[in-house]
Structure formats: C-alpha cells, structure tokens
Chains A and B, each alone.
Chain A
Amino acid sequence: MTGYVIRRLLQIVPVLIGITLVAFLVFYFTPGDPVALMLGEIGTPEVEAQLRVSLGLDQPAYLQYLRFLGGLVQGDLGTSYLSRLPVTTTLWPALWATFQLTTSALLVAILIGVPVGVLAAVKRARFLDYFSMSFAVAGVSAPVFWTGMLFIYLFSLKLRWFPAGGSESVSSIVLPMFTLGIFCAGFLARMTRSCMLEVLGQDYIRTARAKGLSETIVLAKHAFRNAAIPIVTVVGLQFGSLMGGSILTETVFAWPGIGRVVIQAIFQRDAPTVQGGIVIIGTMFSLINLAVDLLYAKLDPSIRYS
C-alpha cells in the first residue's frame, strides 16, 4: 500500500505543474491589452509603460511564467486587472459557494441515484427497470443549462416556489442543487445498477439464498455491501465531474461559484482571475481524484498490484 501511495503521489506532481502551465497559457493568450483595460482613457504613455513594467508584462513569456510560479508557492495567485485586489479575495469565497452547491447536489444524486439503481437491478428486465433506466439516460443526456432553465420556468416563474437565481435566501440553492444533482443521479443510478447486477450474479449470493435467508437480508447484507465499494468510487469521481457541471449551473442560476467567476472573468478579459480560477479548479479536481484512487486502493487490494 505504501508503495502505491508514494507512486500515486509522485504522479500528481507533473500534473500540478501542467495545470499551472495551462492556466498560464490562458492568461498569456487572453486577448486585449491589460494596461489599456486598467487605465482606460486616463493613461499617458509614461504611466502605461511604468504599469507594464510593474505587472511584469514587458518580460518574455517564460519569465512571466516563472514569476507566476514563484507567487503561487507563496500563496499569491495574482492581482485582478479590474478590482486591483488579489484574485483570491474573489476566488476563495466563490470556491466555498461551489463547494456548497456540489456537495448538496451530490447528496441529491446519492439519495435518488443509489436507491433507483438498486431497485432497477432487483427488478431486472421488468417494467420498473426499463422505466427508471430510461429516465437515468435522460438525466445524463439532458444539457444541465437547459434542465436548469426548465426548472426556472416551472418552479420559479410559473409556480413561484423558489427564486430563479442568486444566493440571497436559503431556498436559492434548491433549484441549482436539483439541476446538478439530477444530471449526476442518472449516472449514479446506471453505475449502481450494473454494480449490483454483477454482485447478484455471484456464487455467494446463491449460497445465501440457498441457506434460506430472506431476500431483504440477501440484498442488504450480502449484495449491497459488496456493490458499495465500486459505488463509493463512482460517487467520488462524480464529485470531481460535478465541478465541471457546476460551471454551467452557476451561470444559469447566477450562483456566485468559482465557475461563474471564471466565465465572467473570461468575458471581462480579467486574465489573472481566469488563471487563478483554472489553477484552483484543476488542483481541486486532481486532489479529489487522487483521494478517490487512494480510497479505492484501500478498499480493494487488487488495485494496488495491477
């Protein structure tokens, strides 16, 4: 196990460096002149030149990248061109908002997806199986931004149950949470079903039934417990992909998350904020996937040796 952990930890180092490189490239190639953006009409050529030097924009790309890395190791992700504040002042609170959205969406997904998947596996090849699985495919096929707008139309504009966007009240999170959760629930239901089916085909399930155990005990104690290992992994990996889906959900619902901040910054040409956001999301995503891998290796010893 220790060898596996070390190997896996070493693997993530080049990935993290790669993430900073991608983020820097986005920063470097963001169109528009930041100096003009910051000074507007008031800049004289001297002031502009001075600002360019102080931002380090007069230096070649590789020096700018090294400077960015140097700041990064000290926890400095750069300064926003627009607010003139460290980008972290907007990015950390936004990350927290994204975390709230993704965890609650994951909860929705687990509460819907896992029971539906178990039920579909138990009622295999019967109406309930086909019925629930066709909805599960719809869940993964519908674009989240569109589901979100349908929810806004139905539950906000027509029924007036929940606010259409923002984050002012507690109920603001309900629609985005379900939008993102349902997308993920479809995937989870499908995975749960196939994990359960695999376990239900095993010899020990037949043995348990032959012993005369009740079907409930067979399903709960023998089948679900063993299917739970791969399901946990899938849940973990979903948490990462929820960060992707949240970019769209946040945009639709004006939820103040990190995805929305990055998208806005792209349009405002605030390159340092985009750069910082990409580093944070990429790093979080990689760390979550690393944690899931390690957890999986702990649960299932055969992984470590492959």
Chain B
Amino acid sequence: MIDTESGSFPSSAMRVVRRLLQSWPAAVSLLILLGVVGMAIFAPWVTSSDPTRGNLRERLQPPSVEHLLGTDEQGRDMLTRIIWGGRIALQVGVFSLLIGLVVGVTMGLLSGYYGGWVDTIVMRATDLILAFPYILLVIAIVSILGPDIFNAMIAIGVRIIPEFARVVRSIVLSIRSKEYVLAARAVGASDRRIILRHVLPNCTAQIIVLGTLMLAGAILAEASLSFLGLGAQPPEPSWGTMVARGRDYLVTHPHLSIAPGMAILIVVYSLNVFGDWLRDLLDPQID
C-alpha cells in the first residue's frame, strides 16, 4: 500500500539509529537538542529562581558557584533566564513550524494533485510571501498584528508556508502519474484516500528534512524579532531580548550578550548539522 522500499518500521528505525552512531557530529547534535528540549520542558524544576523577578542587590555579578553565568542588570540569574529562554525559542519555533507545515503541506498536496486554478492561486500566494526578505515579511506581519510572542509565531509560520508548499507540490507532480496512483484511481479510490494513503507518505522524508532546517530558521527569526523589540517583550526571557539588553553593558559585562547568543548559536548549529545529516540519509543521490 504505502510505497516505501525500506520495509517495516522497526527495521528502518534500527537502520537510522545505526547510521546515526556512525556519524558523531549528528549524534552529538541530537544529544544537545534533546538536552535543550529536556531543559525547556523541565525549566521550572531544573531552575530555582524566578526568571523574571530580579534582586537589585545582586545585579551584574560575575559568574560564581551560586550564579554559574552571573546575574544581569536586574540581578536575575543568567543561567535561569537562558534555560527559560530555551522554552520561548522552542515554543515559538515548534508552533510556527507546525503552522507552516500543516498549511504548507496541505496547499502543496492540493495544488500539485488538482492543478488548474487551485495551483495558480497557491503558487501566486507563495510568490507573494517569497517576494519579501524573510525577516522583513515577519516584521511586516507583526506590525499588522501587534508585537508579541503569539503574533511572532503566526508571522514566522506564514513565512514557512511556501517552503513546504513548493517542495510538496513538486513531489506530487512527479508521482501523480505513477502506476500505483493510477492503479488506486482505477480501482475507485477517492481523491482523499489517494492523497492521504499514496501521495503524502512519499513526501514525509522531505518534510522531515525541511522541517528540521525550517525550525532552525524559525528560532533565528524569533531571536531576531525579539532583538528588534518586536517579539517577546520584557521581562520575558527571550534569547534575542537578552542579547539586546546586554548591549548597554557590553564594555563592562560582555557575557550578558555573549551567553544568550551562544545559546542561539548552539541550538541553531545543532539543528543545521542534524538536518544536513538527515538530508544525506534520506536523499542518497546528493552524496
């Protein structure tokens, strides 16, 4: 039924794990990402202080045993804020990715499968979204909706839609006239069934790869928006906001900006390395 060459699920999962152990950069990236996800989920339990409430008597302290990364200009523990910042980064990243993925994949499936005016409308819509530099479109949408973290998710999600729509559409176009699709239609399968059972499964590999790389982009976009003051609003501990606020103390306390920026770099770097590895794994012709 489902056109995969790799056989049943457990054996292909084992194959992925085996390949992962052969590539240490990808394995390390995955470990880092799992660590960040774990910290973000369990932030209230792994940190002891409040990420938003400060203590002015302890402001701008250097790293110490008590505060591993020191404290910020309001006396808040930097490590605590960075861990909570991971929560915001992942929340915005994952939710905007989901918006882009669900809407984009649906649009791509419909546009590739039906063609005609559906295709024309979808393609012109994606053209329009891609007519702006990434961050400018996100800024424009946030300006329309108002600057906060929820609207940032929507804005980034909208920007991701065409990426999925285009990739899925081109895959659908290439398999629409394959024998098994024609056979399914000949035996009277409905469009809905053909799309969900025969077409969509062929797109999953590419969707997963693209999703990983788009998540990296979404996290960078959230950080950029918050850096500009158009995303998360203080006192929310977004990494981008933290870098921006550390600016005033760059001469005396550079770690206030360096540490949260390093967190962004590590997460985005890991996502990119892992995404590249996934792409090579699922698309052998590149190598």
Contact = CB atoms under 8 A, between A and B. Distances in A.
A282 B136 contact: yes
A31 B265 contact: no
A201 B1 CA distance: 36
Contacts of B243: 143, 145-146, 149
Contacts of B251: 157
B261 A282 contact: no
Contacts of A25: 140, 144
A15 B131 contact: yes
Interface size class of B (residues with CB under 8 A): 35 or more
B257 A251 contact: no
Contacts of B272: 137, 140-141
B55 to A, nearest CB: 26
Interface string A121-144: 000000000000010011011111
Given A14-B124, A145-B227, A285 B269 contact: no
Interface string A249-284: 001000000010011001100000010001001100
A70 to B, nearest CB: 21
Nearest to A258: B136
Interface residues of A, number: 47
Nearest to A19: B131
A281 B137 CA distance: 10
Contact of A278 (B140, B145, B246): B140
A157 B25 CA distance: 35
B143 A146 contact: no
A15 B240 contact: no
B146 interface: yes
Contacts, number: 131
A194 B276 CA distance: 12
Contacts of B229: 267
Interface in B222-243: 223-224, 227-230, 240, 243
B172 interface: no
Given A25-B144, A153-B254, A247-B139, A11 B133 contact: no
B134 to A, nearest CB: 5
Interface stretch (A170-178, A213-221, A236-244): A236-244
Contacts of B160: none
A288 to B, nearest CB: 10
A279 to B, nearest CB: 11
Contact of A145 (B137, B224, B258): B224
B236 to A, nearest CB: 18
Interface in A155-170: 157
Given A153-B250, A266-B230, A194 B286 contact: yes
Given A15-B127, A22-B140, A251-B228, A152 B133 contact: no
B241 to A, nearest CB: 11
B20 interface: no
A149 B139 contact: no
Given A138-B265, A262-B136, 11 more contacts: A15-B124, A19-B128, A25-B144, A134-B25, A138-B269, A141-B216, A145-B240, A145-B243, A245-B133, A263-B139, A266-B230
Interface of A: 11, 14-15, 18-19, 22-23, 25-26, 29-31, 134, 137-138, 140-146, 149-150, 152-153, 157, 194, 240-241, 243-245, 247-248, 251, 259, 262-263, 266-267, 274, 278, 281-282, 285-286
7 contacts: A19-B131, A19-B132, A22-B128, A26-B143, A153-B257, A243-B133, A263-B139
Interface of B: 25, 124, 127-128, 131-137, 139-140, 143-146, 216, 220, 223-224, 227-230, 240, 243-244, 246-247, 250-251, 254, 257-258, 261, 264-265, 268-269, 271-273, 276, 286
